[in-house]
Structures are given as C-alpha cells and as structure tokens.
Amino acid sequence: MPQIQHPSPHQTVLTTFEMTPGTAQDLLDALNDAYANFISKQPGFISAGLHINDAQTRIANYSQWKRREDFQAMLRTDEMRKRNRDIHALCRSFEPVMYDVAAIF
C-alpha cells in the first residue's frame, strides 16, 4: 500500500504515458504485466497504481520505492530495458519523474 507522509523516507515516481485510444488497453496490459511479473518483485519496491483517463489517451502511474537507487537499478536491468522498448512502441511518449513529498492533507 502507498505510504504517503511528509517528510517521506521513500522515493515517489510519477510517470505519464500518452497514447491513442487504440493502443490504451495494450499499453495497460503491458504495464500490468510489468508490475505483476517483474517490477513489484524488485528490491526496494513498495507500491504502485495505474490510472487511465476517460478518453483513453493518458495513463498515469504512481510508484513508491524505498530509495532512489532502487528505482534506478530496476530501470537498468536488461528485463526492464526490453520492457521499456516494448512499452515505448505502444505510446507516443512516457516520462518517469522522481518527486519528493512536499505536503499532505
């Protein structure tokens, strides 16, 4: 489960994906598979959530990691590099950005 607190000892990563409605489900399937079978099993992984807009043109992903280095190590694996190439083929763009929790309400 997400652990949102301020100050946070964890690393938060928000990733947005842009795609067409025609590839939205394929991309969602690829992301679900990546999380279920690989990402969630990596050291430092805490939790993640996938969100899709009504128009099926954007997916937002929220993930938490124990440390920034854990997320970066996962990205550098051969498995994730291959998955990211496949994911990129299904969307116009995607951008993971690391954030620190600034406030909670």
Instruction: Please give the Cα distance from 78 to 65 (Å, whole number).
Output: 19
The structure tokens listed for 58 are 């954007």
Beta bridge mates, 63: 13, 48
The answer to pTM > 0.85 is yes
pLDDT of residue 1: 74
Asked if residue 7 has a cis previous peptide bond (ω within 30° of 0), the answer is yes
Beta bridge mates, 82: none
pLDDT of residue 4: 82
pLDDT of residue 7: 86
- The DSSP letter of residue 52 is E
pLDDT of residue 56: 97
pLDDT of residue 55: 98
Residue extents of the structural domains in the chain: 11-99
Report pLDDT digits (tens) over 1-60: 777 888 888 999 999 999 999 999 999 999 999 999 999 999 999 999 999 999 999 999
Helical residues (DSSP H) of 1-105, grouped into ranges: 21-37, 68-76, 78-89
The structure tokens listed for 68 are 């920034």
pLDDT of residue 54: 97
The structure tokens listed for 66 are 């124990």
Instruction: Please give the Cα distance from 95 to 61 (Å, whole number).
Output: 10
Candidates 3.30.70.100, 3.30.70.360, 3.40.190.10, 1.10.3720.10; correct CATH number of 11-99? 3.30.70.100
